[in-house]
Amino acid sequence: MRVLLMTNEYPPHIYGGAGVHVEYLSRELAKLASVEVRSFHDQASVEGGITVRGTKIEAAQFAGCPVPFVSPLRALATCLAFNGQGIDADVVHCHTWYAQFGGILAKHLYGTPLVLTTHSLEPLRPWKREQIGRGYDLSTWVERTAIEMADAVIAVSTSTRNDVLRLYQVPADRVHVILNGIDTEEYKPVNRPDVLRPLGIDPDAPYVLFVGRMTRQKGLYYLLRAVEFIDPAIQIVLCAGESDTPSLQAELESMVDDLRARRPGVVWIPEMVSRRTTVALYSHAAVFCCPSIYEPFGIINLEAMACGTPVVATAVGGIPEVVADGETGFLVEAGLSSSPPHDPADPEGLAAGLAAAINRLGRDTELCHRMGEAGRRRVLAQFGWDKIAQQTLDLYRSLVPRPTN
């Protein structure tokens, strides 16, 4: 089996859950099949059974183009280049809309079966129009075209599968649920207080941790509002980078500055840190908070659980399929509005709900320990990448005609 993965992100160029997914999936698939990865970055390697071929289209090639259109047009140009390099694979597997145009072309030009993994869905992220203007109409068109013509669509949760079937004209038997996974050897509890102190964190005091991008989707705004209700004895550690827009970044940074002026123990880490540091942050946290308003799966919750940390999260998307409410943490109803952009109808109520759950865990060391252990057990039992790679390979095989004698 020859597998071609098309992706925007690939190590070391990773900024979101989709990139993490491709990193570990490719590694496990390479134990079972021949794997080539084509990425959007300047990279090339052959290692561990994986051939990586990056193609970086420079922004300078779009001089004169309106700035919001550069990113989506670079995506299309990169996908054209992928196909211009020739394709000799049994299946093409695309990740995120950025790479899906490459899969569309591969199916038309080379007749290669097309598989897509839906890490998120464009119609459920309307705030992207703030970033790329009418480029959002382009990304939505690419996604719709790709999903409706794909030979198989992988949804990372049952919730996401339901969204695909609701939003797009695709036969139900083409949409398969294969969950995200976690490397439980890399993500496991560690005792590294020395990592925390240089960041300004007191390792002897409880803290709630946020890890993610400063986007509307990730809901950092609602956690910041919740700080007003969180016990002052609980530190607030925010490991956040990459904002949707400069205006949103300025708004969130202003909220953090105001909180730090009025409350002790607010630690702001304004960039994505190394995986080693992230594991230490997870491991020492009393509670991890995922306040997302849209989350098809929420791989960050798996990371926290694998490190033995209980989770407080909004009960949206695929999160309830990961976090067992009352067992590995607490779920808080987000109360999303029925119309786009589906923001919480009661932001103050959501903030208070997050704070109440965080306080409950932050004040009860025994409860934290019990829920953290349960989370680690759940991850070990259900979310290993070896299982996910085998399910993915079985799906590929169902699409590739068997050779005849």
Instruction: Identify the pLDDT of residue 158.
Output: 96
Q: Decide if 330 is inside a domain.
A: yes
| 58: in domain | yes
Residue 405 lies in a domain: no
Name the nearest CA neighbour of 205 among 226, 229, 232: 232
8-state DSSP, 355: H
For residue 116, tell me if it sits in a domain. Answer: yes
Domain that holds residue 159: 2-181+384-399
Report which DSSP code applies to 115: E
Q: Are 176 and 198 in the same domain?
A: no
Tell me the whole-structure pTM to 2 decimals: 0.88
| Alpha-carbon dihedral angle through residues 167, 172, 175, 178, given to the nearest 10 degrees | 110
Residue 187 belongs to some domain of the structure: no
Same domain (yes/no): 100, 204? no
338 lies in some domain? yes
- Count CA atoms within 13 Å of residue 32 on its CB side: 18
State phi, psi for 313 to the nearest 5 degrees: -145, 160
Burial 173-202 (b: 16+ CB within 10 A, else e): eebbbbbbbbbbeebbbeeeeebbeeeebe
> According to the model, what pLDDT value does residue 340 have?
62
Residues of the chain with pLDDT under 70: 338-341, 403-405
Q: Exposed (0-12), middle (13-18) or buried (19+): which is 19, by Cβ within 10 Å?
A: buried
Domains held by the chain: number? 2
pLDDT, tens digit, 9 for 90 and up, residues 193-214: 999 999 999 999 999 999 988 8
pLDDT at 131: 82
Provide the CATH number for the domain around residue 165.
3.40.50.2000
Q: Is residue 404 part of a domain?
A: no
**pLDDT on residue 248:** 83
262 and 285 belong to one structural domain: yes
The number of CA neighbours under 13 Å toward the Cβ of 140 is: 16
* Judgement on whether residues 309 and 378 belong to the same structural domain of the protein: yes
